[in-house]
Chain A
Amino acid sequence: MAFKIIASQCTQCGACEFECPSGAIKFKGESYVVERDKCTECQGVFDMQQCASVCPVPKTCVPA
């Protein structure tokens, strides 16, 4: 149970990083990545996955 970021589409705006309630998104090397073991899919905190809701590029934060 985790989300992932499609790096080739990401504009690296960083919005997902600061919306993630679990601190699961980090900038590593050249791109943003979701740390699988930290991602909770926002369950119990928000109705919708925050990274997917705020990302300006459709289908870039998606279920892994």
Chain B
Amino acid sequence: MPAPIVSLQSLTSTTFSDQLLATAQSGGCASSSCGLSGKQDDMDPVVWEKIKDHPCFSEEAHHYFARMHVAVAPACNIQCNYCNRKYDCANESRPGVVSEKLTPDQALRKVITVANEVPQLSVLGIAGPGDACYDWKKTKATFERIAREIPDIKFCISTNGLALPDHVAELAEMNVDHVTITINMVDPEIGAEIYPWIFYDQRRYAGIEAARILHERQMLSLEMLTARGILTKINSVMIPGVNDEHLIEVNEWVRERGAFLHNVMPLISDPAHGTHYGVTGQRGPTAMELKALQDRLEGGAKLMRHCRQCRADAVGLLGEDGGQEFTLDRIPSEVTYDATKREAYREVVAHERRDHVAARREALGMLKTAGSCKSLLVAVATKGGGRVNEHFGHAKEFQVYEASPKGISFVGHRKVEQYCLGGWGEKAILDGIIAALEGLDVVLCAKIGDCPKERLAEAGIGATDAYGHDYIETAISALYAAEFGVQPLAATA
């Protein structure tokens, strides 16, 4: 049986750095404007209640809660140039890719098995391949069956929006609070470059006409969902030279129509995937290009920066994929839901969250007392719980945070190949990791060996395991203070 992805123990052990506590307390934070309050403080409580356990809609929740997807709705009514449903490789991680399609009954068995094994599970999504709203009967049957067995699980769908207006009323009835619509354009001329055709009203449309219909249906969907209080996340694929500049306009349009989050994702394009873009050599953006665009969008619709473009059958915390441990042949034919693990986990999280909020406040206080106006880009190796708790060599991705006197904000993640395989570090892999960490200042992890540390240093990237098991914000603020110098004397002078 697969082990839970984050053990309860690693979340309950509080490992505050004494040194940090001392500094934070002595430094103090007299200013009343000091509030790294956590987004939840200034948020409508009704909204917070909806998102607090949703790893995609709440960046805070993504440290604690896991999602899983079931591929039950493979038919699609449009063609996107970045999608190809014909190929699948177990090592690929990208949207639209699954190893097995499920019937609603198989999905029920799988969800119960995962809920019994992975206490972090809070959200079930249907996100392709195919379109959950077009292949509606299967989506609906799946949600209904699972709601009967696991009443507290949240449902989430991801759709291109073309068939969405037809099902908004039913979604509302089924208490689906979260819908993701992929919107890559508001100008049909640009749309025509992204979508070769759509199938609507019993016929295939192509070119600008297709894009115009899609655009109108997407805007209608968004307005209808907003009117019913259903939270929407807009996914946009950033395609350099096609819609990168245009996404600023998309952001304005969706914000005006009440979108809750805007998630700009890089185009994934590889000739081996056989997509139109892969074959024609359309490139995806670099990590720094993506960040630059996201920074320009800041101030518009709230941005999601923790998206991992997961496989459509992913299981686990964002960034983790335990999907291969729960393939149909590995799950029993008879399963019964056992709520105990999920309930116990929720209690731990409630406790941990209170603690974490306090830790974040102290962290912000430290940033301010450091008295610097510089900013620091930090890569963190974590396996969940909001802590620096992953070994450098075990990390498959690094979460990137920016620390400045304004606070600590999550800016994204960098995927890497795991450095340590069976105890051995591969030189070539390390080169790849160093390239992936381009532009960052420091790496924080639970453990790191001398060799990778030296190699990183040669590339101008610091690395330390001194803050292992601390909360991420606690560690970053201590690092920031160490880097730019706390001046406790100046404060009292």
Contact = CB atoms under 8 A, between A and B. Distances in A.
Residues of A in contact with B, size category = 10 to 19
Contact of B199 (A14, A53, A57): A53
Contact of B203 (A13, A14, A15, A46): A46
B77 A54 contact: yes
Contact of A13 (B85, B137, B202, B204): B85
B76 interface: yes
B199 A13 contact: no
Given A56-B85, A57-B86, A15 B76 contact: yes
A12 interface: yes
A13 B129 contact: yes
A11 B203 contact: no
Given A46-B202, A50-B202, A53-B203, A15 B75 contact: yes
Contacts, number: 47
Contacts of B278: none
A47 B85 CA distance: 27
A15 B78 CA distance: 11
Interface residues of B, number: 17
B40 interface: no
A13 B85 CA distance: 8
Contacts of A54: 75, 77, 199, 204
Sort A-B residue pairs by CB-CB distance and give the 10 closest, nearest first.
Answer: A15-B75, A53-B204, A13-B74, A11-B85, A54-B199, A11-B86, A13-B75, A14-B75, A46-B202, A48-B203
28 contacts: A9-B86, A11-B74, A11-B85, A12-B74, A12-B101, A13-B76, A13-B130, A14-B135, A15-B74, A15-B75, A15-B76, A15-B130, A15-B134, A15-B135, A15-B199, A18-B75, A18-B135, A19-B202, A46-B203, A48-B203, A48-B204, A50-B202, A53-B199, A53-B202, A54-B75, A54-B199, A56-B85, A57-B86
Interface of A: 9, 11-15, 18-19, 46-48, 50, 53-54, 56-57
Interface of B: 74-77, 79, 85-86, 101, 129-130, 134-135, 137, 199, 202-204
Given A14-B75, A53-B204, 8 more contacts: A11-B86, A12-B74, A13-B76, A13-B85, A19-B199, A48-B204, A50-B202, A56-B79
